[in-house]
Amino acid sequence: MNDDLKLAIEQWRFVSSLLTKPQSEADYDALAGSLDELLYIVGEDEAHPLMGLVDIIGDWIEAYDHEHWPMPVASGVDVLRFMMREHGLTQGDLPGVGPQSDVLEILSGKRQLNIRQIRWLAERFGVSVETFI
């Protein structure tokens, strides 16, 4: 048995709560709290010796999130509706998409966004074109 493994076995009872995937929301919350503390210690130092632990815990938290709280897939039209609501815009405020009648047809699902409109919207809202695809 190598020395690193021996040391890990000896210290396991002290670190096992940090090195176990979350099985419940309580586990998740505890790991998230530990991650916050680690990030405070590590800061911006990508070469910090604890960065490996940060990566492991971060991956487990992300996997738990995806399994228990999956993000719904939004269509380009859903994103457009959200952006309009967030920015307080009306159909007439989107001349790069077309006249109000075109915007209405897109929002009602009668017409698809085309690539020109998607490019304009991405530039207008400062997001990638993939946001509206």
pLDDT score, position 22: 95
pTM equals 0.58
**pLDDT over 90 (residue 73):** no
Per-residue pLDDT at 26: 95
The per-residue pLDDT for 84 is 95
Residues 6+ away with beta carbon under 8 Å from 106:
77, 80, 97, 112, 113, 117
Q: Mean pLDDT across the stretch 65-82?
A: 90
113: alpha, beta or left, given left = phi > 0 and alpha = psi -120 to 50? beta
Domains located in the chain, CATH noted: 3-68 (no CATH), 76-132 (1.10.260.40)
pLDDT of residue 102: 93
User: Residues of the chain with pLDDT > 90: what percent?
Assistant: 89
**1-50 pLDDT, tens digit each:** 899 999 999 999 999 888 999 999 999 999 999 999 999 999 999 999 99
Residue 129: band (very low, low, confident or very high) from pLDDT cuts 50, 70, 90 = very high
What is the mean predicted confidence (pLDDT) over 56-63? 96
